[in-house]
Copies of this chain bind each other. A is one copy, B any other.
C-alpha cells in the first residue's frame, strides 16, 4: 500500500504535480477498493469519511489527473456515470470486464486475451494499437444456476 502510494507520488512529481492530502486520501480510497468500479460520487462519499472537508470538485479533479497519468482508467458501462478503475501496476494492457445482465456484477479478467487479435488488427488494418477496451455482457457464474 505505502509503496504504491509512494510510486504514485513519484509519478506525480515527475510531472510537477504534488501529492496533496486530498489527493492522497483519494488514492487511498481507490487502493482500498481496487476490486470495485467506483463512480466519482462513490469515491467522494468514501473519501469524506477520512477527509470530511474535501469538496466534490477536488475529487473530480483528482480522478481526472490520475486518468491522465494512467494510474486509473475511466470506464463506462452504459449507466450514466463514469467509473474509475485502478490499473494493475506494470500491466501493459487494460484488463477486461464481465458485466452480468442479471445481477449487475462487474468482474475483471486480468489476463490478456487479445494478443493474437491485436496482431491481426495491427497488420490487417494498419492500426497502431495503444490501448483497448473489452467488455462482455452476459450471465455470470453466480447467476447461472
Tell me whether A136 and B113 are in contact (CB under 8 A): no
Number of copies of this chain that the complex holds: 2
Query: What bracket does the count of chain A residues touching chain B fall in?
Result: 20 to 34
A2 within 8 A of B: no
When distances are taken between beta carbons in the complex, the residues of chain B under 8 Å from A136 are 118, 121, 127, 129, 131-132
Q: Which of A2-31 contact B (CB under 8 A)?
A: none
Partner of A76 from the list B76, B113, B138, B139 (CB cut-off 8 Å) is B76
Partner of A107 from the list B117, B125, B139 (CB cut-off 8 Å) is B125
Tell me whether A98 and B117 are in contact (CB under 8 A): no
Nearest opposing residue in chain B for A137, CB measure: B131
Nearest opposing residue in chain B for A134, CB measure: B134
